[in-house]
Amino acid sequence: MSFKAEFKLEKLKFKHDSIEDFYTLRCCGVSNHLWLLRLLFALYALAILIHSAVAFHTQYWAIFLTQWGHVVSTIYLCTGSALSIYYTFQKSNIIVSNKADFELSSPVTDMHDKVVFREISVSNMVPKKVCFFWLVANMSYVIGGLIIILYWGFVHQDHFLDGADAEFANINLHGVVYGLVVIDFLLSGIPIRILHGVYPVLFGLTYGVFSAIFTLSTKRAIYPVLKWHTHAIQALIFSLMALGVVIVVQIFFYGAHRLKRRVRSRTMTMP
């Protein structure tokens, strides 16, 4: 598929020819244990979410972009775990869809010589639950990357947490959990579309508006670089720069996805 084709409006939709890319491992010749990894990742992300809420000791826990992004990442890992378990452990290994857009193909033999059925798409539209997961996945990759760049590049010297839990929380919220998200991206075959970058952009715009309203109403800046009440132009410029980073990260993951597919196709064709 050409790069120009990625900019067709049709690419805004969530169409893909196989939902197996969303719930199975796509590396190392293994295809049925992603559910376990995702379950472990999801439990860890949930634990960090609870820990950060407890460690913050303030009603303002939810105003930070870090927390917004971490919630998205946790939803992504939990939803991915649920989908992988759902599709992996269906009875008789037959994937049944409630959508007329899908039908069962003829039986095929997997790497363990076990007869299974694969779900193929007639209209390339995936089920709604998979669409939601796809949306959250893309948001998690891009918003998480944005948070890592902004935090370690601009605000990591400003301590928002005090006490012994500060370092542990910061490392996990601004590194470890996103590392789990990236590992999941590398192991799965979730497709990346350039035009899907519009969704994290909307997410970023929503947070920008929220931060402006919060700061103007409380006269308290969420971040030193977002002082809307005293340095509105600076805050606006920084916000626009952040949206630019979102676009760059989206393109980066698109390229990483294409590279991953190419490497996998070459690996599969090797004798």
Tens digit of pLDDT at every position of the chain (271 positions):
567 788 888 788 888 878 888 988 876 555 568 899 999 999 999 999 998 888 776 678 899 999 999 999 999 999 999 999 998 887 434 444 444 333 444 444 444 444 444 444 444 678 999 999 999 999 999 999 999 999 888 877 655 555 556 677 788 888 999 999 999 999 999 999 999 999 999 999 999 999 999 999 999 999 989 999 999 999 999 999 999 999 999 999 999 999 998 888 777 655 5
Following DSSP, what letter does each residue of 116-162 receive, concatenated?
E--EEESSSBPPHHHHHHHHHHHHHHHHHHHHHHHIIIIITTS----
The pLDDT value given to residue 265: 78
The pLDDT value given to residue 162: 56
Structure tokens at 158: 């400003």
3 domain-assigned: no
189 domain-assigned: yes
227 domain-assigned: yes
50 domain-assigned: yes
The pLDDT value given to residue 113: 45
Which backbone phi and psi does 111 adopt, to 5 degrees? -65, -15
The pLDDT value given to residue 239: 95
Give residue 247's domain range.
11-268
Residues 6+ apart with CB under 8 A from 200: 138, 139, 142, 143, 146, 246, 249, 250
pTM, full prediction: 0.83
Q: Burial-class residue 65 by CB neighbours within 10 Å (0-12, 13-18, 19+).
A: buried
The pLDDT value given to residue 247: 96
Q: How far is CA 99 from CA 53, 158, 192, 205, in A?
A: 39, 50, 23, 34
Nearest C-alpha neighbor of 1 from the set 262, 263, 264, 266 = 262
Q: Is 109 helix (H, G, I), strand (E, B) or coil?
A: strand
69 domain-assigned: yes
1 domain-assigned: no
187 in Cβ contact with 27 (< 8 Å): yes
4 domain-assigned: no
5 domain-assigned: no
19 in Cβ contact with 126 (< 8 Å): yes
If you count them, how many residues does the chain have?
271
The pLDDT value given to residue 98: 41
How many domains in the chain? Answer: 1
